[in-house]
Amino acid sequence: MIWELLALLGIYAYVSIASLLYAGIDRKLVARMQRRIGPPILQPFYDFLKLASKETIVPNTANFMFKASPILMLATTIALLAYTPIGFKPLFATKGDIIVFIYLLTLADFFLVLGAISSGNPYAKVGASREIALLASREPAMMLGVFTVMWALSKHGVEKPFSLANLYEHNIWEFGPMAWVGGAVLIYVFMTWLASEVEAGFFNVPEAEQEIAEGPLVEYSGRYLAIIKLAESLKEFIAASLVVAILFPWGIEMPGLEGYVVNLLIHTAKVFAVLFVAKTVFRAVTGRLRVTEAVNLLWTRVFSASLVASLIIAMGVVM
Amino acid sequence: MIKLPLLSTVLKNIAKRPATNLFPKTDPVPVPEDFRGKIIYHVDKCVGCRMCVMVCPAGVFIYLPEVRKVTLWLGRCVFCKQCVDVCPTRALEMSDEFLLATYDKYDKKLRWFTEEEIEEYKRKLEEQKKAKEVAKKS
């Protein structure tokens, strides 16, 4: 138990650094795509330290949740790291932990929304309502895809069905040509889901700076904003980790501690590649949709694609 | 079907060099011909005709009757060049200088013909008067 907690702290430190590093790389790449030079790669670290050292202003209209939400959000995200597949089996992998994973992933967003509506700022309330609308629209597609994959893997007679640890024992590409077609559709579904999870490009709806002044984050400043930014960045890495673990879970077999480290590094490289497509390029080439359009797209294009992919994979497994 | 017309451009741009000017490390973008920068005031050429005071939209110029010159504070200047165009003696001109940021509104570099210079000029006038009187007496 104590070793697992130490490992969790190590993973937390590593993922914090990796996710903030990717935020820097992302800004640099978007700048280069627009023929700019961009900030230094370590800029998110400087931003974090600066925000943490700034004066924190709490509005008069805020209630106690305003202060508690960022901490709860970060705590949720750290707890989520214990269930995240990052190149090796999750620390607390157990039967059915996929439910816990999805629950904690959405809970982090709920805490952000709670903090926003506790600030008493109408802009934050608009941002929070958009956040919830997007959250409710994007998760079903992901859930259906994940549960289908989990169900398909459980057909292989795994030890703990519906655990994220199964993803490293078998993967959906083993089920023959039918599942390959379904997997290709799933790649589209999960990439779109990831883009809406990190709120890039089309889905930059809740934090629309030009429309509603940063939405949920409008009243946050100083230490709380630093915590929220860190938690969001961790959540990005975790969401991308899920996508990588489900679609491209290949690592290398290697005993001992070195095996864990090497697999973690391979996984990080894959996460960066996935985020490059779903976040950086997507952010650079697309503008924001309206909130109604984004919800429509998620329900009609993405959820239906998820349904189709699930049926194809299911047929592939059953046959 | 979602069209992404920018995709090819964006991916090509990664390989290209940034089209920006790294200002503090390099020189700023060169100014064009006839650039309207900071005003230069030649006190010795000025005859005190008050044209610039009449024409200035921002109230940069203050006429000093006792010395028949103007003093100016460029904190108000809008760089419209009307004073330069109207000055009959070419006592005013536009320079190429545009990096005028300061910490102090009444910085030396935003002033021409300051109080000390005015006092000095008055003293010079007195001396000239005295010299004239001495010359008359002799």
Give the residue among A222, A182, A191, A202 at the shortest CA–CA distance from A66: A222
Q: Spell out where A263-319 has E strands.
A: none
- In tens, the pLDDT along B42-69 reads 988 888 898 999 999 998 998 988 888 8
Predicted structure pTM score: 0.85
Q: Which residue of B has its CA nearest to A38?
A: B18
Q: Per DSSP, what are the bridge partners of residue B39?
A: B94
Rg of chain A (C-alpha set): 19
- Retrieve residue B111's tokens: 């002033």
Confidence of residue A212 (pLDDT cuts 50, 70, 90): low
Q: Say how far apart CA B71 and CA B118 lie, in whole Å.
A: 9
Within-domain flag for B16:
no
Would you give the DSSP letter of residue B73?
E
Q: What pLDDT is stored for residue A230 in this prediction?
A: 92
Give the residue among A61, A63, A45 at the shortest CA–CA distance from A53: A45
Give the residue among A286, A200, A294 at the shortest CA–CA distance from B6: A286
Please state which of the ranges A73-82, A203-212, A222-231, A237-246 shows the lowest mean pLDDT.
A203-212
Average of per-residue pLDDT across A169-182:
79
Q: Say how far apart CA B94 and CA B97 lie, in whole Å.
A: 9
- The answer for A 227-286 residues in CB contact with B (under 8 A) is 281, 284-286
Which residues of chain B lie closer than 8 angstroms to A37, CB-CB? 18, 20, 22
Task: For B77-122, give the DSSP string.
Answer: -----HHHHH-TT--EEE-S------S-TT-GGGEES-HHHHHHHH
Q: What is the CATH number of the domain that holds B54?
A: 3.30.70.3270
Within-domain flag for B19:
no
Q: Say how far apart CA A198 and CA A233 lie, in whole Å.
A: 8
Q: Does B138 touch chain A (CB under 8 A)?
A: no
- In tens, the pLDDT along B14-35 reads 888 888 888 888 888 889 988 9
Q: How many domains does chain B have?
A: 1
Average pLDDT, chain B: 88
Cα-to-chain-centroid distance, residue B136: 41
Q: With a cut of 80, say whether residue B130 has pLDDT above it.
A: yes
Q: Does A68 touch chain B (CB under 8 A)?
A: no
> When comparing pLDDT for A162 and B42, which is higher?
B42
Chain A interface test: which of B2, B10, B16, B21 (most A C-beta within 10 Å): B10
- Retrieve residue A285's tokens: 């080439």
Which residue segment(s) compose the domain that B37 sits in? 31-132
Within-domain flag for B22:
no
Which residues of chain A lie closer than 8 angstroms to B20, CB-CB? 35-37
Within-domain flag for B71:
yes
